[in-house]
Amino acid sequence: MPEVVDTCSLASPASVCQTKHLHLRCSIDFTRRVLSGTAALTIQSQEDNLRSLVRNQEIVIEISFETSPKSSALQWLTPEQTSGKEHPYLFSQCQAIHCRAILPCQDTPSVKLTYSAEVSVPKELVALMSAIRDGEAPDPEDPNRKIYRFSQKVPIPCYLIALVVGALESRQIGPRTLVWSEKEQVEKSAYEFSETESMLKIAEDLGGPYIWGQYDLLVLPPSFPYGGMENPCLTFVTPTLLAGDKSLSNVIAHEISHSWTGNLVTNKTWDHFWLNEGHTVYLERHICGRLFGEKFRHFHALGGWGELQNSIKTFGETHPFTKLVVDLTNTDPDVAYSSVPYEKGFALLFYLEQLLGGPGNYDMTLTNACISLSQRWITAKDDDLNSFSSADLKDFSSHQVNEFLAQMLQNAPLPLGHIKRMQEVYNFNAINNSEIRFRDLAAFDKSHDQAIRTYKEHKASMHPVTAMLVGKDLKVD
């Protein structure tokens, strides 16, 4: 079989040589906004004709490096941009191809390596990585700094190397889980994610033993580009998950699922990203089905089908990015990012489940209630508006409220009088669930102009990936 070429990487192919281990020694400089140090790479030859090396021979190459202040993988926050307003903050986002913007590496998912690290930071701050914490000590070269040590003994692709430095605190929420954040969010975070151990146990029942040891959560500042990032031992999540009622905890089920599908078994190239995400969504929904019932699993499957239809409509039905397997030659994977690999991948697996004896059709019970209410609003005349009341949502979960608004967005915007009445009876402005708030705003045309103004005002201080993705959603860039 011919070798699969990763067109998103310029590194030597895995068939020629493979990095087996990385030892990282680095220092964080907030003043200059750079990360500098050495990367000691243990390289194993896969061929006999690499100069003096023979097949399977290993050599250690140590490279000194320094990042650019504009590294696409790093976000540097001033104290004013943090919740505490006292200390700076740094976090990384390496998926899909940004680890190369931090350190020299074979930045392709086809190469997996273990790693260890020593990270020097100001002594008042805490460093965390996608690895097991392995102690801390004063920096012998600077009494104002501290060195944190880490060890990741399970081989991972470079896109899962992650680093955060900030004024962080933790709370224990399970036998193998701490939740980390700035102190202003730590108690809220501990409450919001208190079901994590239950999800981990269900995932183990479905996928086998959890081999990573620790499963910690880190709640980042709002500029984090995604809902969550499955960094091993330390899942990164957005603070917009802090709804106050655990209603967005399915994101945690998704990131937990990645511990098996994505982190343990990984797509070889980004062309096959659906293998990571389609299987993860499938496992996530099984976890939620075990927790909340099979109707809930089908409800989310139907919602995902709607998200897939929206993405295909946005791209255009014949656009190459609507394919399950894409060709990313000369294309940044971030540009191709959408719900397609998630939901089209899930749809394929759910279809195979049906063929092999699963339920023949979606259970529409929970979804039909959302469709029925949305149709009442869409067809309502001005004289009908008094027929709506808060009792309409009495038996709705947060997920159903979200789906109700998603159904509304499939149609033309409501008249202003309808919008005002909806706010009067449902009081969406008092809801902290970010998905509901987003869809409530999206239902009102003028919100788009406000979003564009806000984006342009704050773009310069966003993480580079965040700026690109939000600009794409708003059709600005």
| Chain centre to alpha carbon of residue 386 | 42
Q: How far apart are CA 242 and CA 244, in angstroms?
A: 6
74's CB contacts (< 8 A; 6+ apart) are 33, 35, 67, 90, 91, 92, 101, 102
Count H helices and E strands in the chain, helices first. Answer: 13, 15
Contact 198, 278 (CB under 8 A): no
Which of 89, 342, 426, 455 does the annotation list as catalytic? 342
Tokens in use for 240? 């917009």
Give the residue from 240, 235, 234 showing the smallest Cα distance to 222. Answer: 240
Give the residue from 210, 390, 177 showing the smallest Cα distance to 283. Answer: 210
Q: Which three-class secondary structure state does DSSP give residue 242? A: coil
Q: Which residue pairs, CB below 8 angstroms and at least 24 apart, start in 236-244? A: 236/91, 236/93, 236/162, 236/164, 239/181, 239/185, 240/434, 241/192, 241/434, 242/185, 242/188, 242/189, 242/192, 242/432, 243/192, 243/398, 243/431, 243/432, 243/433, 243/434, 244/188, 244/192, 244/432
How far, CA to CA in Å, does 4 sit from each of 1, 67, 110, 327?
9, 30, 9, 12
Tokens in use for 383? 């004289």
Which of 118, 182, 230, 255 does the annotation list as catalytic? 255
Helix (H) or strand (E) holding 358: none
The verdict on whether 66 is a catalytic residue reads no
Which residues participate in the annotated binding site for Zn(2+)? 254, 258, 277
- Asked, as a colleague might, if the bond just before 336 is cis with ω within 30 of 0, I would say no
Which residues participate in the annotated binding site? 254, 258, 277
The verdict on whether 343 is a catalytic residue reads no
Active-site annotation, residues: 255, 342
